[in-house]
Amino acid sequence: MAAIDLHDLTKAWGNFTAVKRQSLAIRDGEFMVLLGPSGCGKTTTMRMIAGLEEPTSGDILIGGQRVNDLAPRERDIAMVFQSYGLYPHMTVADNIGYPMKLRGMGRAEREAAVRAAADKVELGAFLHRKPRELSGGQRQRVALARAIIRRPRAFLMDEPLSNLDAKLRVSTRAEIKHLQHELGVTTVYVTHDQIEAMTLAHRVAVMQGGEIRQLGTPEDIYDQPADLFVAGFIGSPAMNLLAGEIQDGRFTAPGGIAVAVRVAHRGAAVLGIRPEDLRVLPPGQGDVAAAIYTVELTGEATLVTADVGGARLSARADRGFRAGIGSAIGLALDTSRLSIFDPGTTLRIKDAP
């Protein structure tokens, strides 16, 4: 167990920079999720922590010790690879037990450890198979079991649930969270699934183009996105973003939208509001008059996309809500949960005190 510190970490290939001067302090025992779109440098960052990729510049500290020059073996980190990295000629049991075999654990003890790790990811029935005889999700779980059989200083997990079916993903997610809590091992977890990020993380680092855009608790990231990228990336359906302007403490946009805001800013602005912070009301009520563009049932809610003066707003209505396309409705905005962004810098504008 150890804290992991990244100082101005950069990785470049030729003149392409995959990770740009990234600094991140991961606390001892913390569950840190790196979240971002494909190609933003999550795996590269993780591989540098692991020691599989040499940083172009910058430092990596584990437990306060600079590890840039240490081999992966000497860093005592367990990793789950995005593409599994299983040993094709070994059985599932031998794959999972390999780290313990290297550490000189006796056969009987090892078999017990393998069984315990395999049971945690529901692989008990496959111990004698070879990786090629497994499905993608089963292989992924072997990789996971091979990591959790150890008690390393840190776990690195690169999209360890990406190939599991929905049901198994939820149960394995819970298993990982519980395990991490129980063991207290510092964990860096890569995903582009925001539900995973929200449910697992102590803190989330949202990355884009090799840079961390926002670092914060899941609540911070969700409720107070630091810029337009984070606002648009987190949440499904995404946060509604409306371009307009602020005059005298009021945000106005085409289509008759006008709401009071608590920022000192004036001039062009982008207003962000999450679908669940928009209430669908009968016509004539609420802040804005709108027409229904589409209605989608998700089971737990009804997603309404409304047309407001040419702009589309999505709102999460009660799951009993039904209305025909084109019918008129009213929308109420929860003004306590608005986000305002500067369209020039794309940064969030903080509420005036």
Partner 1 sequence: MRDRTLKYLLLVPAAVLVLGTTLWPLAVSFTTSFRDWRLTRSVTPGPFIGFEHYITAATDDPEFLNALTVTATFVLIDVTLTLVCALGLALLLRRAGVLQSLTRAVLILPFAVSPALVGISFRFMFNAEMGVFTWLAGAVFPPLQGVVWLGDRSAALLVLVFSDAWRWVPYMTLVVLGGLAALPREPEEAARMDGAREWQVLRDVTLPALLPVLAIVGILKTVFALKMFDQVVTLTGGGPGSSTVTLAYLVYSIAFRWYDMGYASAVAWILTAMLMGLAVWYTRLVLRKPDA
Ligand X SMILES: Nc1ncnc2c1ncn2[C@@H]1O[C@H](COP(=O)(O)OP(=O)(O)OP(=O)(O)O)[C@@H](O)[C@H]1O
190: β partners: 34, 158
Rule CB under 6 A: say whether 160 interacts with ligand X. no
Site for ligand X in 41-100 (CB under 6 A): 41-44, 82
| Amino acid (one-letter) located at 313 | L
Question: What is the smallest separation between the CB atom of 44 and ligand X, expressed in angstroms?
Answer: 3
Q: Toward ligand X, which CB reaches closer, 63 or 72?
A: 72
**What does the alpha-carbon distance between residue 339 and residue 263 come to, in Å, rounded to a whole number?**
10
**32, 50, 127, 154: which one contacts partner 1 (CB under 8 A)?**
50
- Residue 25, CA distances (Å) to 3, 9, 299, 302, 322 in order: 8, 12, 40, 40, 48
Rule CB under 8 A: say whether 348 interacts with partner 1. no
**DSSP 8-state symbol, 189:** E
Q: Which residues are CB-neighbours of 174 under 8 A, at least 6 positions away?
A: none
Q: Toward partner 1, which CB reaches closer, 75 or 173?
A: 75
**What does the alpha-carbon distance between residue 171 and residue 161 come to, in Å, rounded to a whole number?**
10
Question: What is the smallest separation between the CB atom of 42 and ligand X, expressed in angstroms?
Answer: 4
Question: What is the smallest separation between the CB atom of 92 and ligand X, expressed in angstroms?
Answer: 25
Rule CB under 8 A: say whether 73 interacts with partner 1. yes
Task: Write the interaction track for ligand X spanning residues 199-238; mark x where CB under 6 A is met and - where it is not.
Answer: ----------------------------------------
The residue number whose beta carbon is nearest to ligand X equals: 43
Lookup: tokens for 152: 């390393």
**14, 64, 88, 106: which one contacts partner 1 (CB under 8 A)?**
88
**What does the alpha-carbon distance between residue 234 and residue 62 come to, in Å, rounded to a whole number?**
30
The option from partner 1, ligand X, Mg ion, none interacting with 321 (CB < 5 to 8 A, set by class) reads none
Binding segment toward partner 1, per CB under 8 A, in 58-66, 74-82, 204-212, 222-230:
74-82
**What does the alpha-carbon distance between residue 87 and residue 132 come to, in Å, rounded to a whole number?**
10
Q: Which residues are CB-neighbours of 145 under 8 A, at least 6 positions away?
A: 96, 114, 117, 118, 120, 121, 123
Task: Write the interaction track for Mg ion spanning residues 41-70; mark x where CB under 5 A is met and - where it is not.
Answer: --x---------------------------
Q: Toward partner 1, which CB reaches closer, 128 or 266?
A: 128
Backbone angles phi, psi at 106, to 5 degrees: -65, 160
**What does the alpha-carbon distance between residue 170 and residue 233 come to, in Å, rounded to a whole number?**
21
Lookup: tokens for 330: 């009213």
Q: Toward ligand X, which CB reaches closer, 53 or 342?
A: 53
259: β partners: 251
Closest by alpha carbon to 19, among 71, 55, 51?
A: 55
Task: Write the interaction track for Mg ion spanning residues 76-115; mark x where CB under 5 A is met and - where it is not.
Answer: ------x---------------------------------
What is the binding site for partner 1 (CB under 8 A)? 50-52, 71-73, 76-79, 81, 83-89, 98-99, 102-103, 130, 132, 143, 146
